[in-house]
Chain A
């Protein structure tokens, strides 16, 4: 575990050194590829604006993430208790899900305005579907013999859902939630680029218009740091909660 983290850090360091060497050695213009030191320097001098933007984006992503997880798991639980409803609803769900979130974004901006609400909705939509599908798959994975045993103890469908099916589904739900961390930030940033008052996506968009590619890269740097931290945090929580999977 610790060793893996060390190797990962080493890999990143090597990449950065290679990048720095290439950018300097080939004297690449900064609109093609600025050097790492240039990006870091720019990020440091504009840290105030970047941090404000990062909080803005993070708030949208977290709010949308929370809503998406709750709604996604909730609908999955409901549909798994009501198979006839499920058969009717699933085609509609799959049709909505087949449209990329980026395609919904302009509509969401139109409906909910340029503020945070449209970003939160876009993130909730993207996260919600991922978590919903993984939760449904997890709830279907139940061991029939274990369910029969609980029935023989007199358990009803709700009791079996709570004591058996939901815990059985947790590893898959958690995997969906872990993958969704990165998606939530991507969707927030992409939607911001289409129209916003703030956030990393807005900074990227502004910087592109001003042909300031070093600023674009520093915003990307902050965004990927956020993504990694969020992903790592959820991964740690996952291993704590689903302790029985390890060892």
Chain B
């Protein structure tokens, strides 16, 4: 269920983690680990506890007692991770009263960085994020794709060893999404951060990831872990290659089964 053993200590390690909200168990006995510099994608049916997983790793929610959470080889409480991972939630959550640059440096400002220096750094990053000339614009003046790039820039500027991206492209149209995926890989290859990436799009998960984790229906756990051996840099044509298709079939099968379960669970019964 988990990963092949590796010599190096993983950056993040979860073992037997559960999380219960009232009478609902969102996550049960979840185990996973993420190596340094790895791009791991997580797919699963809706409501499978993906966001719960992220909230715990971001330090926002404490898991139920009993599991093991290790960051950089050291066991810790979830709240100790606050300020130590850079988290990007589904919605861009840009602050409407801040312009592009000031939104991008929000996290740096919170950790007490010099504002002028942070701004200068953000300005240098603008071209890479396709935001040249937009530094003085406010969120309501930007398109959805641009807002998302500002949010990503905010996440990148908060230089932490682990980045958590929760369906960052979920709200974008299909064309913009594929462009953003290639762009993200490009940026990632240059910055070499460790990324844990949630999506419900199997193509996206395979195209981006070194490894794809398939989560089960609720209560969620990692049902299937699959290494993606496709060469990098990955080009757009890759998605039509036989290797890609074979991987996709395998992962889709695993998800389908889980989607069915959660569908039945949420509908009480299913018509034959």
Contact = CB atoms under 8 A, between A and B. Distances in A.
Interface of A: 143, 145-146, 148-155, 159, 163-164, 167, 170, 242-244, 247
Interface in B111-156: 111, 138-140
Contacts of A242: 97
Interface stretch (B13-21, B36-44, B80-88): B80-88
A167 B85 CA distance: 26
B93 A146 contact: yes
Nearest to A167: B97
Contacts of A153: 83, 86-87, 106-107, 110-111, 158
Contact of A163 (B58, B59, B110, B140): B110
Contact of B140 (A143, A152, A170, A244): A244
Q: Which of A151, A154, A170 has the largest count of B CB atoms less than 10 A from its CB?
A: A154
A151 B80 CA distance: 11
A154 B58 CA distance: 10
B89 to A, nearest CB: 6
Task: Report, nearest first, the 7 A-B pairs whose CB atoms are least far apart.
Answer: A154-B83, A244-B96, A153-B107, A152-B87, A152-B58, A155-B110, A153-B110
Given A149-B87, A247-B140, A154 B111 contact: yes
A244 B158 CA distance: 25
Contacts of A155: 110
B234 interface: no
Interface in B26-64: 55, 58-60
Nearest to B90: A145
B264 to A, nearest CB: 30
B95 interface: yes
Contact of B60 (A148, A167, A243): A148
Contact of A167 (B95, B138, B158): B95
B91 A145 contact: yes
A16 B158 CA distance: 63
Interface residues of B, number: 25
A152 B83 contact: yes
A154 B89 contact: no
Contact of A152 (B82, B91, B96, B138): B82
Contact of A151 (B60, B91, B106, B139): B60
A223 B66 CA distance: 70
Contacts of A149: 87, 89, 93
Q: Which of A145, A149, A242, A247 has the largest count of B CB atoms less than 10 A from its CB?
A: A149
17 contacts: A145-B93, A146-B93, A146-B95, A148-B89, A149-B89, A150-B106, A151-B82, A152-B58, A153-B86, A153-B111, A164-B95, A167-B97, A170-B97, A242-B97, A243-B97, A244-B96, A244-B140
Interface of B: 55, 58-60, 82-87, 89, 91, 93, 95-97, 106-107, 109-111, 138-140, 158
Given A150-B106, A152-B87, 16 more contacts: A143-B93, A148-B55, A149-B93, A152-B59, A152-B83, A153-B86, A153-B107, A153-B110, A154-B82, A154-B110, A155-B110, A167-B97, A242-B97, A243-B97, A244-B138, A244-B140
Q: Which of B87, B93, B138 has the largest count of A CB atoms less than 10 A from its CB?
A: B93
A170 B83 CA distance: 27
A152 B60 contact: yes
Contacts of B93: 143, 145-146, 149
B89 A145 contact: yes
Contacts of B139: 244
Contacts of A143: 93
Contacts of B140: 244, 247
A151 B93 CA distance: 13
A159 to B, nearest CB: 6
Q: Which of B91, B95, B111 has the largest count of A CB atoms less than 10 A from its CB?
A: B95
Contacts of B107: 153
A133 to B, nearest CB: 23
Nearest to B91: A145
A146 to B, nearest CB: 5
A152 B85 contact: yes
Contacts of A164: 95
B110 A159 contact: yes
Nearest to A164: B95
A229 to B, nearest CB: 28
